[in-house]
Chains A and B, each alone.
Chain A
Amino acid sequence: MTDARITDTVTDIVLVRRAGRLWMASFGVALLLTLLLVASIVVLLVRGVGIWGIAMPVAWGFAITNYVWWIGIGMAGTFISAALFLTRQGWRAALNRHAEAMTVFALAVSGLFPVLHLGRPWFAYWLAPYPDRMGLWPQWRSALVWDFFAIGAYVVVSVLYFYTGLIPDLAAVRDRATTRGRQVFYGLLALGWRGEAHEWERHTTLTRMLAALAVPLVFSVHSMVALDFSEGLLPGWHSTIFPPFFVAGALFSGIAMVVVLSVPLRRAYALEAFITDEHFDKLGRLMLAAGWVVTYGYAAEVFTAYYGGDRYDIAMVQQRMTGAYAWLFWSTIACNSVAIQALWWRRVRLCRPALLAVSLLVLTGMWMERFMLIVTSLYRDYLPSSWGMFYPTVWDIAFLAGSIGLFALLFLVFARLLPVLSIAELRRRAAAVPEATP
């Protein structure tokens, strides 16, 4: 494919194509769900976190589940973009832009939940270290403070990485734009990029450096999320396997989300020449591999409990598999460990409806897994007198649905406003490997 065709195809999506009926309908639904989220946040601010089903002993519920789920989804964008860049996997060029966008939006959604969960979200800035008149400082030994720094750094670095990659493409859109408003809008965003040799040299250096930073960053972020749990002393949380287990789970759900976004994107904008069967094949393999690491995590949890012989750990494992939330555990296994076995077959990986179905199951399964990890460790404490169930309220469900709506809304706007594929990367790939479909 020629440079001209790559450029025209991708910029036309932004500049020429009109929003279709499907986009309009999706946008409408996403907007309604986002408004639901906004309304729910207002109610939460007025009435407090008591509107959720959280109470003693299960003081973490949907909100923390949503937070861990969304931040995990963000991971695959960074992985596809940075890790596959550093390992010179050229095929990623057709995926990295919308995967990075997915990361930024998933992070934006994810970051809402810990703040809203604070009880008094307007004091969220107390997490930041600054000399205040009360003489207070954050408790540096707390995993929650580590988390604040991890998410903060992750958000900024993801946005910078996303934007850096966008600059040459924004210039391409600027140069094709015909209306004054668009010329100014994309002209400002492109910062005056000319494609001069110095600019490219520095751009390439920065991209490589940011990728090298993003990979350890993303692993550290998910390890911090896991440490929120494993720093606690509860059976089922207090486990050294949690950091790698969470990293694998994050990658697993994130790749599933990349598939869920790529299939409609490719279809809606006829991008078959860019997002090929090869991409879905590789995403399917990655998902299968990550799924096996997650499955190993489940097995290791059970094994360690019995091998360690701690009666509370064993009781927790038994409760998880046979207790009131057994349905959750077995549904998780069915989605995350059993359903993915279909991906061994190339025919399944290449059949987009089947791959999409498995990905949706994985996303559901990963949400259930996080919920299961949180609730089954909390609802049976050491003391039988403090045992209790968790019942979600309508607000819990509103927040979950609303967060999906906000994510969809951001992604839909992205698809109309910014180049959905990385034009510069595709051109470079076409130049390096002329025979390969980019």
Chain B
Amino acid sequence: MMVHGYLAQFADAPALLDGLRRLRTRGYTRIEVFSPYPLGGLPDPVGARRWPIPPLMLGAGMVGGLGTLAMQYMSAVVGYPIDAGGRPDASWPAFMPAAIEVAILFAAVAGFVAFLAGAGLPALYHPVFEVAWFEEASRDGFLLLLRADDPLWDARGSMDDVAALQPLRHAEVAT
């Protein structure tokens, strides 16, 4: 049977963070943590691997806003000029409202897409769902998964390393 990793549940957030720290001092790197709310104080590769949501949103917003201005210029000056009381065809102050709204719209949609891509969603199936008590992560469980693709993984030793953290319970996750 192929192994995806080893899952353990801890009593609370400090216990989880402590267990995480101890596994990392042993040299493990491929660790995932699951919690009912965002945890502060996670070490770098586990929690805060940067994913550029804000820059992507800024970029998409600029494309939306400047693109709308360009479209308005094209349509009002080239495509369908209307002389309304001698006002200039390219009446840019009147073009701002639509440009601002579209900029916000593009930024929001891009942010949502970037969030999905960064979080790897939608992913309706995941091996950890096979563990019955994984549901605790969406209630009050603080869980840790040591992945089998870790360079230091060794079927027996890693299992003992996790068990040595004295979690509430632990189980092997099959792929």
Seen from chain A, the residues whose Cβ lies within 8 Å of a Cβ on chain B are 2-4, 7-8, 129, 135-141, 145-146, 149-150, 152-153, 156-157, 160-161, 164, 167-168, 171-172, 174-176, 187-188, 191-206, 209-210, 213, 216-217, 220, 224, 227, 424, 427-428, 431
Establish whether residues B53 and A209, one from each chain, have CB atoms under 8 Å apart when the complex forms.
Answer: yes
Establish whether residues B104 and A199, one from each chain, have CB atoms under 8 Å apart when the complex forms.
Answer: no
CB distance from A78 to the nearest CB of B (A): 12
- Minimum CB distance partner of A189 in chain B: B122
For B37, list chain A residues within 8 Å (CB). Answer: 3, 200, 424, 427-428, 431
Which of the residues B34, B76, B139 comes within 8 Å of A137, measured between beta carbons?
Answer: B76
Establish whether residues A157 and B54, one from each chain, have CB atoms under 8 Å apart when the complex forms.
Answer: no
Which of the residues B49, B101, B104 comes within 8 Å of A198, measured between beta carbons?
Answer: B49
CB distance from B175 to the nearest CB of A (A): 16
Which of the residues B57, B118, B137 comes within 8 Å of A195, measured between beta carbons?
Answer: B137
- Minimum CB distance partner of B115 in chain A: A206
Establish whether residues A203 and B119, one from each chain, have CB atoms under 8 Å apart when the complex forms.
Answer: yes
Residue B1 is within 8 A (CB to CB) of chain A in the complex: no
- Minimum CB distance partner of A220 in chain B: B100
For B36, list chain A residues within 8 Å (CB). Answer: 3, 7, 172, 195, 424, 427
Residue B38 is within 8 A (CB to CB) of chain A in the complex: yes
Q: List 16 A-B contacts (CB under 8 A).
A: A3-B36, A140-B94, A146-B98, A156-B105, A156-B108, A160-B112, A172-B36, A175-B138, A175-B139, A197-B46, A205-B51, A205-B53, A205-B54, A206-B111, A220-B101, A227-B97
CB distance from A178 to the nearest CB of B (A): 12
Establish whether residues B140 and A7, one from each chain, have CB atoms under 8 Å apart when the complex forms.
Answer: yes
Interface size for B (C-beta < 8 A) is 61
Asked if A191 meets B39 with Cβ closer than 8 Å, knowing A196-B33, A198-B118, A202-B53, the reply is: no
How distant is the Cα of A145 from the Cα of B124 in the complex, in angstroms?
A: 40
Which of the residues B34, B48, B57, B126 comes within 8 Å of A209, measured between beta carbons?
Answer: B57
Establish whether residues B118 and A202, one from each chain, have CB atoms under 8 Å apart when the complex forms.
Answer: yes
Establish whether residues A201 and B38, one from each chain, have CB atoms under 8 Å apart when the complex forms.
Answer: yes
Establish whether residues B82 and A139, one from each chain, have CB atoms under 8 Å apart when the complex forms.
Answer: yes
Which among A137, A174, A197, A203 has the greatest number of chain B C-beta atoms within 10 A? A197
Establish whether residues B94 and A141, one from each chain, have CB atoms under 8 Å apart when the complex forms.
Answer: yes
Establish whether residues B105 and A152, one from each chain, have CB atoms under 8 Å apart when the complex forms.
Answer: yes
| Known interface pairs A129-B75, A224-B97; 12 further A-B residue pairs with C-beta atoms within 8 A, sorted by A's residue number | A149-B102, A164-B115, A176-B135, A195-B35, A195-B138, A197-B42, A198-B47, A199-B121, A201-B38, A204-B38, A213-B107, A220-B101
Residue B153 is within 8 A (CB to CB) of chain A in the complex: no
For B105, list chain A residues within 8 Å (CB). Answer: 152-153, 156-157
How distant is the Cα of A360 from the Cα of B112 in the complex, in angstroms?
A: 36
Which among A8, A164, A191, A195 has the greatest number of chain B C-beta atoms within 10 A? A195
Establish whether residues B121 and A192, one from each chain, have CB atoms under 8 Å apart when the complex forms.
Answer: yes
- Minimum CB distance partner of A428 in chain B: B37
Establish whether residues B119 and A199, one from each chain, have CB atoms under 8 Å apart when the complex forms.
Answer: yes
Which among B48, B53, B138 has the greatest number of chain A C-beta atoms within 10 A? B138
Which among A164, A192, A201 has the greatest number of chain B C-beta atoms within 10 A? A201
- Minimum CB distance partner of A430 in chain B: B37
For B53, list chain A residues within 8 Å (CB). Answer: 202, 205-206, 209
Asked if A164 meets B112 with Cβ closer than 8 Å, knowing A135-B80, A137-B76, the reply is: yes
Establish whether residues B138 and A129, one from each chain, have CB atoms under 8 Å apart when the complex forms.
Answer: no
Establish whether residues A7 and B100, one from each chain, have CB atoms under 8 Å apart when the complex forms.
Answer: no
How distant is the Cα of A210 from the Cα of B60 in the complex, in angstroms?
A: 14
